[in-house]
With several copies, the nearest count.
Chain A
Amino acid sequence: MRASDRRDDPIVADENSTPFLVHTESFDGPLDLLLHLVRRHEVAIEQVPLAQITAEYVETLELMAELELEPAAEFLEVAATLMRFKARALLPRPAVPEDPELAAQEEAVLLQQLVEHQVVRLAAQQLRHRENQAAAVWFRGEVSPAGIEATDSEIVEADLFTLVTAFRNVVAGLEEPAAFEVPREEFSVAECSAEIRAKLALGVPVPFLELFESGAPRGKLIATFLALLDLIRGSMVRAFQDGPLGTILVFSTDADDDVGTNETTA
Chain B
Amino acid sequence: MTESADSVELLSTIEAVLYAADQPVSADRLVELVSKACDGDGDANLDVDTVRSACLELEERYRANASALQVMEIARGYRLGTRPHFDAIIRLLRQVERPTQLSLPALETLAVVAYRQPTTIAEIHSIRGKDPGAALRRLRDLRLVRITGRRRAVGRPFTYGTTDRFLELFGLRDLTELPSEEEFQELLEA
Contacts and interface: CB of A to CB of B under 8 A. Distances in A.
Nearest to A115: B188
A124 B184 contact: no
A117 B128 contact: yes
A127 B103 CA distance: 12
Contact of B99 (A72, A127, A147): A147
Contacts of B104: 28, 124, 157, 159
B72, B107, B114, B172 — most chain A CB neighbours (10 Å):
B107
Interface residues of A, number: 55
A78 B125 CA distance: 13
A229 to B, nearest CB: 13
A128 B108 CA distance: 10
A16 interface: no
Contacts of B178: 123, 126
Contacts of A266: 9, 13, 37-38, 85-86, 88-89
A72 B170 CA distance: 31
Nearest to B166: A127
Given A256-B97, A266-B38, A138 B129 contact: no
Interface in A25-51: 25-32
A150 interface: yes
A31 B130 contact: yes
A242 B102 CA distance: 20
Interface stretch (A94-102, A129-137, A186-194): A129-137
B157 interface: no
A29 B37 contact: no
B88 A265 contact: yes
A254 B37 CA distance: 19
A126 B38 CA distance: 31
A143 interface: yes
A113 B131 contact: no
Contact of A127 (B20, B114, B168): B114
A190 to B, nearest CB: 22
Interface in A102-136: 113, 115-124, 126-128, 130-131, 133-136
B47 interface: no
Interface centre among B99, B110, B112, B181 (most CB of A within 10 A): B99
A29 B20 contact: no
A29 B94 contact: no
Contact of A146 (B72, B112, B169): B169
B108 A26 contact: no
Contact of B101 (A126, A143, A149): A149
B146 interface: no
Contacts of A253: 97-98, 100
B103 A26 contact: yes
Nearest to A114: B129
B171 interface: yes
B174 interface: no
B84 interface: yes
B8 to A, nearest CB: 12
A150 B88 CA distance: 11
Contacts of A32: 129
A266 B12 CA distance: 11
Contacts of B171: 130, 133-134, 137
Interface in A78-102: 78
B54 to A, nearest CB: 15
B169 A138 contact: no
Given A28-B105, A138-B16, A145-B96, 9 more contacts: A31-B128, A32-B129, A120-B128, A122-B188, A130-B171, A131-B107, A134-B170, A137-B70, A148-B169
17 contacts: A27-B105, A28-B104, A29-B105, A31-B130, A74-B130, A116-B127, A120-B108, A120-B111, A120-B127, A121-B108, A123-B111, A123-B179, A131-B102, A137-B82, A139-B81, A143-B94, A145-B87
Closest 4 CB pairs of A and B: A29-B130, A134-B171, A136-B84, A31-B129
Interface of A: 25-32, 72, 74, 78, 113, 115-124, 126-128, 130-131, 133-150, 157, 159, 235, 253-254, 256, 258, 263, 265-266
